[in-house]
Amino acid sequence: MRLTRYYMPTLKEKPSEAETPSHQYMLRAGLVRKLAAGIYSFLPMGWRVVRKIIEIVREEMDRAGALEVFLPVVQPAELWQESGRWEVFGKELLRFKDRHERDFCLGPTHEEVIVDLVRGEVRSYKQLPLNLYQIHIKFRDEARPRFGLIRAREFIMKDAYSFDKSWEDLDVSYGKMYEAYSRIFKRCGLDFVVVEAETGAIGGDVSHEFMVWADTGEDVIVFCEGCGYAANKEKASFMLDETEEEGEMKEPEKVYTPDVRTIDEVSNFLGVDPSKLLKALVYRANTGEFVLFLVPGDRDLNEAKAARAVGAESIEMALPDEVLDIAGVSVGFVGPCGLRKKVKVVADRTVKGRKNLVSGANEENYHIVNITPDVHFKVDLYEDIVFAEEGDRCPKCGEPLRFSRGIEVGHIFKLGTKYSAAMKATFLDEDGKEKPFIMGCYGIGVTRIAAAVIEQRHDEHGIKWPISIAPFEVYLLATNMKDESVKKIAEKLYMDLVAKGVEVLYDDRDERAGVKFKDADLVGIPIRVTVGEKRAKENAVEIRLRDTGEVEVVPVSSAVDRVLEIRKELYEELEP
RNA sequence: CGGGGCGUAGCGCAGUUUGGCAGCGCACCAGCUUCGGGAGCUGGGGGUCGCCGGUUCGAAUCCGGCCGCCCCGACCA
């Protein structure tokens, strides 16, 4: 492609709206332009990158035996009402009416549609396993889109759905996707880690996230260098230290603590370390049950774990008047001793065996000190309900856990029968019984991959694309189009490289060399071939790798062969 | 949804405090010179100053309302 015939509007200055490297460079290199908050158009270069990612995803999905389909973006409300998610899904689900006043939504995900597509058609276990996938637009009306394509409202996603007759078969389907995902991200040049994850509101049992290491990431990766354990913040567990506490057990005592409510305030006022305090939090589960959670003052309640502990799908902080009703006191003075109403008490497992703790006295402006669990108050259940903290011990090997930030590029779930059962999607099994499909679902953020790659592979001059998803393989740069020998060599190289099937972006613009070098660095095409006046006199050109900065000078006669060799090596580095 | 900030040429910004000709740099067009890391000179084109209303002889500037965008947090199938 000749740059004079191409559309690559690069920007010299950083657009004010862009903070993170990927966002900045995608705009500056002319890959995308914003249409509205979280909604982007792809320009020719950007779309070439996306198409290459799509092709890698497609190859690996096909290789894993999945079948490509194409499902509608606009979906009728009835399907979502059937699964129960019309009510459950929040404002992220963009709803609207058609001309007949019928409710529709833009698909944020396609479980409902795929289940509807398969039910009734797949009737026998003999037709299983089945894995259907698609690659196209999703729309989620995010509360706060940010970081350009990392959290956009409209984005391209690959989503796959597996249907199996048994949990054992689901394990096989799941394993194939795990393998395919690892191959995909390797081929895209990403440095990633697979973490155990919570399943969240999508439902299901086992789940893994594919996370790309990046300081600008929104997610926290909890990992252990000792044994390779890795989990996301919600899921991460830690090894419990033996906490049989030394010292005499003392008698409880009420203390006047006027308007002293927060952990910090109580800690300061009483001169007690936060770890000796008990945070008492009243929650309402989606089952309607109220629960009092107790966690040490120096730790935070993990709502996902807490919900799981009480067998609820979700939990929500109780409202102030609900707290007043249950504890007989306002938030800040709630504790496990002497609650007005009896509710289930769930304490973090680190609380067990502790002595002489401090908590609210369930009396306005009073705390109670020297209370010991199972002696001065009853705990119905000890469970892991807090977030792991950096430095906690790895649940597998006991080494200290480390935290790092990451971007989620893929997520796989063992869904089970959540949707197949709700939507009555069943098959006839070998034993003649009708059973709901055992499902799995598997997502990859295609456009997010493009951004994640830039987050990982850039420098102060621009992007450093891996060759597999680079918009072009070679940037052919003629330093001076008015110099006849330069132009002649460049034109011939261009024709020869194209003839060999190399994707070349030929910078044949009548620009100064400096402008061309800056653009070449910015757009980050991996192999740069420079035809300059001095070298041209010696019948040589310069080949430079964008990633390493490595330069070699080769005779014009062997330049094409050398480029082919380098290209081959660059692809080999990315092989799974 | 809570907090903060911004909206003036395609991009980056000044001007708003104290009302008085709408500016600067880059980009764009023409010419001359220059030509391996975002050139120089000369001349030029381009604006509903986010929108609506109000105050005023006069509003980018003051007042009221609305909209959009960014950042922090909450949320995130």
pLDDT of residue A287: 82
Which residues, listed in sequence order, are joined to residue A277 by a DSSP beta bridge? A358
Phi-psi region of A540 (alpha: psi -120 to 50; beta: other; left: phi over 0): beta
What letters, b where the CB count within 10 A reaches 16 and e where it falls short, cover A278-302? Answer: bbbbbbbbeeeebbbbbbbbbbebb
Amino acid letter, residue A14? K
Residue A227 pLDDT greater than 60, yes or no? yes
Could you tell me the domains of chain A?
Answer: 42-236+403-455 (3.30.930.10), 253-383 (3.90.960.10), 462-573 (3.40.50.800)
Strand B close residues, chain A 405-464, CB < 7 angstroms: 443, 461
Tokens of A218: 């929104």
Beta carbons of A507 and A2 less than 8 angstroms apart: no
Q: Per residue in A425-458, pLDDT tens?
A: 999 999 999 999 999 999 999 999 999 999 999 9
List the A16 CA – B18 C1' distance (angstroms).
30
Mean pLDDT throughout A327-336? 88
Q: Per residue in A519-543, pLDDT tens?
A: 999 999 999 999 999 999 999 999 9
Q: Per residue in A129-174, pLDDT tens?
A: 999 999 999 999 998 898 999 999 999 999 999 999 999 999 999 9
* Angle between helices A556-573 and A484-499 in degrees, nearest 10: 50
Residue A288 pLDDT greater than 90, yes or no? no
Q: Which of A91, A69, A160 is nearest to A446 (CA)?
A: A160
Residue A268 pLDDT greater than 90, yes or no? no
CA–CA separation, A308 vs A264, rounded Å? 29
Q: What is the mean pLDDT of chain A?
A: 93
Q: What is the ipTM of this complex?
A: 0.94
**Which nucleotides in chain B lie closer than 7 A to a protein CB?**
1-2, 11-13, 25-27, 34-39, 68-77
Using the CA of A111, which nucleotide's C1' is the nearest one?
B77
Residue A263 main-chain phi, psi, to 5 deg: -55, -45
Residue A394 pLDDT greater than 90, yes or no? yes
pLDDT of residue A203: 57
Residue A201 pLDDT greater than 60, yes or no? no
Residue A198 pLDDT greater than 90, yes or no? no
Q: How sure is the predictor about A262, in pLDDT bands with cuts at 50, 70 and 90?
A: confident
Q: How many CA atoms lie within 13 A of A469 on its CB side?
A: 33
Q: What is the DSSP letter of A207?
A: E
Tokens of A447: 């456009």
Q: Per residue in A40-87, pLDDT tens?
A: 999 999 999 999 999 999 999 999 999 999 999 999 999 999 998 998
A19 beta carbon to strand B: under 7 Å: yes
More confident residue, A318 or A565: A565
Strand B close residues, chain A 196-255, CB < 7 angstroms: 199-203, 218
Q: Which residue has the tokens 């594919």?
A: A210
A300 beta carbon to strand B: under 7 Å: no
Beta carbons of A257 and A445 less than 8 angstroms apart: no
Q: How sure is the predictor about A332, in pLDDT bands with cuts at 50, 70 and 90?
A: confident
- CA separation, residue A112 to residues A71, A202, A386, A453 (Å): 11, 12, 33, 31
Calculate what percentage of chain A has a pLDDT beyond 90.
79
